[in-house]
């Protein structure tokens, strides 16, 4: 690729860059760049919204660059205040260790393991002495830190800001002083932290890191950002059938963004695809994303399953069997399959007429299934299982 094509390839899906000229200059030197992503292991579940940034990191890798994921085991003990209206709860070491393991497993579904280093900032921040921390703090401006929107808003409301929260951007900046990355990526809410980091690197006679931020991905409802709390997400660990099926439930409007942020399909080709019937375009999108994460064979089987069960309404021949003794509630049975995130989701599904016992649609979420029942339950559009109650 030509230089301008490389820049456009790497910047696809980014929202902010500080600065494009700096990135162009460093790429022109033909050296391997180090691209940093800082992660506080506060939530171990990654979804397609997280894939937006991971996809750009993968593009850097595909062009020969190194990705460094710094797990904020130390900074997680502080808690990132960015975009928060209140003090964040502090994690225990046990929670951090468990969440870190889960994060690695999921991130490597997108990233190339051979070009990914996982670092732990407790290895250097945890060893700082009180004198060293004081020395680092002497070079930072409190005015610049508390002028951030999140801190300023809390001050205006007369709410508390804990001293340890002010230390967060200082410690995050020190990560980059130690690691000396060429590029750092993150969400737009991290820009104040990144500006602090660039200044810290300059003061340590380092070339300041280039900053790339990414936009939020809208969830399956087509309205709010993708989030587990909104129940509009698709997990990176979703099985192929569920992933493909959920992508097919996406409203038409966000399709262009999904193509642009989650695939490498050329922009001109995206425009041509979106001229097709929405169902056909969505199938191309679902197959592309599912193939990237799960492999071509698994994705094609998922597509075949969708076409048979959802479009042609054919009940699948292979179904998991669940057995119970005595009276059992329909809500408990459906939730126990592990296919739904909460009992509340199952309750809404039943009340909305989305559950069938054999061919009978059940809308009573308190419905009890009696002994001697043997049949098939359909929950939602994509999930069937057999049930026997002894």
What pLDDT was estimated at residue 83? 47
What pLDDT was estimated at residue 81? 52
Tell me the C-alpha distance between 207 and 77, whole Å: 29
Find the helix or strand (DSSP H, E) in which 80 lies: none
Q: Which residue has the higher pLDDT, 381 or 65?
A: 65
Residue 95, classified by CB atoms within 10 Å of its CB into exposed (0-12), middle (13-18) or buried (19+), is middle
Query: What is the average pLDDT score of the chain?
Result: 90
At 231, the pLDDT band (50, 70, 90 cuts) reads confident
At 214, the pLDDT band (50, 70, 90 cuts) reads very high
Tell me the C-alpha distance between 164 and 362, whole Å: 53
Indicate whether 63 pLDDT > 60.
yes
Tell me the C-alpha distance between 341 and 320, whole Å: 18
CATH number of 320-389: 3.10.290.10
Tell me the C-alpha distance between 223 and 86, whole Å: 25
Tell me the C-alpha distance between 203 and 197, whole Å: 10
- For 59, the token pair is 């593009």
Number of other residues whose CB lies within 10 A of the CB of residue 319: 15
What pLDDT was estimated at residue 93? 77
pLDDT single digits (tens) 77-121 = 765 555 444 445 667 778 888 888 999 999 999 999 999 999 999
Tell me the C-alpha distance between 10 and 24, whole Å: 11
The domain 3-214 is placed in CATH, from the list 3.30.460.10, 3.30.565.10, 3.40.50.620, 3.40.50.1010, at: 3.40.50.620
What pLDDT was estimated at residue 166? 81
Average pLDDT over residues 121-142: 88
pLDDT single digits (tens) 312-347 = 888 888 888 999 988 999 999 999 998 888 898 899
Domain ranges of the chain: 3-214, 238-311, 320-389
Tell me the C-alpha distance between 148 and 163, whole Å: 15
What pLDDT was estimated at residue 161? 78
Tell me the C-alpha distance between 216 and 189, whole Å: 11
What pLDDT was estimated at residue 21? 94
Average pLDDT over residues 142-150: 70
pLDDT single digits (tens) 257-300 = 999 999 999 999 999 999 999 999 999 999 999 999 999 999 99
| Share above pLDDT 90 across residues of the chain, in percent, rounded to a whole number | 65
What is the assigned CATH class of domain 238-311?
A: mainly alpha
- For 3, the token pair is 């230089």
Distance separating the N- and C-terminal Cα atoms of the chain: 65
What pLDDT was estimated at residue 305? 92
Tell me the C-alpha distance between 34 and 25, whole Å: 14
Domains 3-214 and 320-389 agree in fold: no
Average pLDDT over residues 156-183: 87
Q: Among candidates 88, 118, 120, 94, which has minimal Cα distance to 106? A: 118
- For 84, the token pair is 């928060």
Q: What is the 3-state secondary structure (H, E, C) of 251-266?
A: CCCCHHHHHHHHCCCC
Could you give the C-alpha distances from 289 to 252, 302, 388, in angstroms and in order? 16, 12, 36
**3-state DSSP call for residue 82?**
coil
What pLDDT was estimated at residue 169? 85
**3-state DSSP call for residue 7?**
helix
């Amino acid at each position: 690729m030509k230089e301008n094509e490389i820049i456009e390839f790497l910047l696809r899906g980014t929202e902010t860059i500080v600065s494009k000229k700096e990135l162009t200059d460093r790429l022109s030197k033909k050296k391997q760049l180090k691209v940093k992503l800082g992660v506080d292991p506060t939530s171990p579940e990654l979804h397609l919204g997280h894939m937006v940034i991971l996809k750009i990191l993968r593009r850097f890798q595909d062009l020969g660059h190194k990705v460094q994921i710094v797990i904020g085991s130390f900074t997680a003990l502080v808690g990132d205040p960015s975009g928060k209206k209140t003090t964040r709860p502090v994690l225990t070491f046990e929670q951090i260790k468990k969440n870190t393991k889960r994060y690695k497993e999921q991130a490597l579904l997108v990233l190339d393991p051979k070009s990914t280093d996982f670092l732990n900032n407790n290895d250097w921040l945890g060893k700082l002495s009180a004198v060293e921390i004081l020395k680092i703090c002497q070079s930072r401006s409190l005015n610049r830190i508390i002028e951030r929107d999140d801190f300023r808003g809390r001050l205006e409301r007369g709410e508390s800001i804990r001293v340890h929260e002010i230390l967060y951007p200082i410690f995050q900046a020190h990560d980059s002083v130690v690691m000396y990355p060429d590029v750092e990526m993150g969400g737009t809410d991290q820009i104040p932290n990144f500006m602090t980091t660039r200044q810290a690197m300059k003061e340590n006679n380092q070339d300041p890191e280039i900053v790339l931020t990414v936009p939020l991905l809208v969830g399956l409802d087509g309205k709010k950002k993708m989030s587990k709390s909104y129940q509009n997400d698709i997990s990176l660990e979703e099985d192929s059938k569920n992933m493909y099926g959920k992508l097919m439930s996406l409203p038409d409007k966000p399709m262009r963004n999904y193509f642009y942020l989650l695939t490498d399909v050329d922009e001109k080709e995206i425009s041509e695809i979106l001229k097709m019937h929405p169902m056909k375009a969505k199938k191309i999108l679902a197959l592309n994303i599912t193939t990237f994460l799960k492999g071509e064979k698994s994705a094609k089987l998922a597509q075949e399953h969708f076409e048979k069960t959802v479009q042609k309404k054919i009940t699948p021949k292979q179904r998991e069997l669940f057995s119970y003794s005595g009276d059992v509630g329909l809500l408990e049975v459906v939730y126990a399959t592990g296919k739904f995130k909460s009992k509340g989701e199952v309750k809404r599904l039943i009340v909305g007429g989305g559950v069938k016992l054999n061919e009978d649609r059940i809308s009573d979420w308190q419905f009890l299934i009696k002994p001697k029942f043997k049949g098939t339950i359909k929950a939602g559009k994509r999930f069937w299982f057999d049930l026997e109650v002894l």
